[in-house]
């Protein structure tokens, strides 16, 4: 892809403004254990947090350029594009900001795209969630506290600030990350601690993980999500070389021995992962907090099986039950008795058979905006919908 150097804006981080008509969509096709449907939103293609292990670095297009040249592509006026798409729907799931790059990275202070998008969701009474390694702006908290199903996830990988600077150099410091949890909790906003990922032989000591969870609990976290580092094959060299650079040849050799399984990405041996998850599930049970995994699988006789159903202690992997919402006049309202756990739904209370994935046994389906529009026309019967 050709890059016009004259279009690069150099501060506060090299970036280029782009026009886009990209559409809201559901989870990417392929293996999944995400229990709830989401509308994925990515206003920034690339990220100033700078995690060397980020799977977005292995994606094509703008993300590949970001990985090579550290240029972020900013979707100009994307909030207006999103607003128009929201107004075309009568049935909707929770927004997810954002599954690929941090919504509150440096450029957010200039363009406020995440803030504007959240505002578009909230003013229509549509739930939205975010995941961040950055400081949450106060305006964001003020916005989402008025929408009862909106929530925040804070990614804290370690209590060690020196390690944090290696893993997320452009993110908030450790104290600010715990303060995120405190401010969310203080405003009665459901908040999640994500230890995502855990780095084998570096951040996986049981006592360290226990202390991290205990501090998160003291800060107001209501749910824990974890994963073990997996390595996209396209950036295997980058990730392993950084491990060697920062943590030494001995740890690097251990990674070469541990990372032997290929399940889309390069994964740590399942016995190692299971031992970590068993400890964390038991510890969270003891602390009376729900627990789940993110994108963790194992191979059995050539078939892929998810581990979340085995280790998760909540109905939904994010710890909160968010129903499907339907339009009622100018705003949306949650469906009565819907728990939002579409992957395990057997009754399709929303009337959308496609969403009841347990019934169809099809977890490779990727829902697009056109699907939501189709559902909006097919099932929207006020006599059927129970608000």
pLDDT at 183: 98
| 386 in any annotated domain | no
Walk along the chain (387 residues) and give the pLDDT tens digit of each residue: 668 888 999 999 999 999 999 999 998 766 778 899 999 999 999 999 999 999 999 999 999 999 999 999 999 999 999 999 999 999 999 999 998 899 999 999 999 999 999 999 999 999 999 999 999 999 999 999 999 999 999 999 999 999 999 999 999 999 999 999 999 999 999 999 999 999 999 999 999 999 999 999 999 999 999 999 999 999 999 999 999 999 999 999 999 999 999 998 999 999 999 999 999 999 999 999 999 999 999 998 888 999 998 999 999 999 999 999 999 988 999 998 899 999 888 888 788 888 887 555 555 668 999 999 999 988 655 555 555
- Sign of the alpha-carbon dihedral angle for 89, 93, 98, 99: negative
* Cα atoms in the 13 Å half-sphere on the side-chain side of 63: 14
| 59 in any annotated domain | yes
Q: Which helix (H) or strand (E) holds 15?
A: strand 15-18
CATH number at residue 31: 3.20.20.70
pLDDT at 29: 66
Number of domains in the chain: 1
pLDDT at 360: 53
Give the separation between CA 217 and CA 318, rounded to whole angstroms.
Answer: 16
pLDDT at 349: 78
Q: DSSP string spanning 298-366?
A: EEETTEEEESHHHH--SSSTTSS----EEEETTEEEEPTT----GGG-SS-TTS-GGG-HHHHT-TT--
| 116 in any annotated domain | yes
Strand partners, 293: 226
- Sign of the alpha-carbon dihedral angle for 57, 60, 64, 65: negative
| 387 in any annotated domain | no
| 35 in any annotated domain | yes
| 172 in any annotated domain | yes
| 383 in any annotated domain | no
| 385 in any annotated domain | no
Full residue range of the structural domain in which residue 259 is found = 5-378
94-97/331-334 β-pairing: unpaired
223-228/290-293 β-pairing: parallel
Per-residue pLDDT tens for 268-280?
999 999 999 999 9
């Amino acid at each position: 892809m050709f890059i016009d150097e004259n279009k690069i804006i150099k501060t506060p981080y090299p970036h280029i403004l782009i026009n886009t008509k990209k559409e809201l969509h559901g989870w990417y096709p392929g293996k999944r254990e995400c229990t709830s449907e989401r509308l994925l939103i990515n206003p920034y293609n690339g990220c100033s947090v700078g995690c060397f292990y980020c799977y977005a670095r292995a994606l094509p297009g703008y993300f590949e350029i970001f990985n090579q040249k550290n240029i972020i592509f900013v979707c100009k006026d994307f909030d207006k594009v999103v607003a128009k798409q929201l107004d075309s729907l009568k049935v909707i799931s929770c927004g997810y900001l954002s599954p690929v790059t941090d919504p509150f990275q440096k450029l957010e202070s200039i363009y406020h795209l995440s803030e504007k998008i959240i505002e578009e969701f909230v003013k229509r009474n549509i739930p939205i969630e975010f995941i961040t390694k950055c400081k949450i702006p106060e305006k964001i908290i003020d916005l989402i506290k008025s929408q009862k199903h909106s929530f925040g996830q804070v990614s804290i990988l370690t209590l060690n600030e020196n390690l944090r600077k290696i893993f997320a150099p452009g993110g908030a410091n450790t104290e600010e990350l715990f303060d995120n949890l405190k401010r969310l909790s203080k405003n009665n906003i459901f908040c999640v601690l994500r230890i995502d990922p855990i780095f084998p032989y570096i951040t996986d000591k049981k006592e360290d993980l226990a202390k991290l969870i205990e501090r998160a609990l003291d800060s107001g976290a209501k749910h824990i999500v974890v994963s073990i580092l997996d390595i996209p094959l396209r950036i295997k060299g980058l990730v392993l070389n950084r491990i060697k650079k920062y943590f030494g040849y001995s740890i690097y050799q251990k990674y070469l021995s541990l990372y032997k399984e290929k399940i889309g990405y390069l994964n740590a041996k399942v016995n190692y992962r299971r031992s970590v998850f068993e400890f964390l599930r038991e510890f969270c049970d003891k602390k009376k907090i729900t627990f789940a995994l993110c994108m963790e699988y194992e191979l059995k006789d050539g078939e892929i099986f998810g581990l979340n159903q085995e280790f998760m202690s909540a109905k939904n992997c994010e710890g909160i039950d968010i129903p499907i919402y339907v339009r009622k006049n100018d705003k949306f309202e949650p469906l009565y008795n819907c728990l939002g756990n579409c992957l395990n739904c057997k009754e399709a209370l929303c009337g959308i058979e496609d969403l009841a994935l347990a019934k169809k046994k099809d977890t490779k389906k990727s829902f697009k905006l056109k699907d939501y529009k189709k559902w909006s026309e097919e099932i929207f019967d006020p006599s059927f919908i129970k608000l």
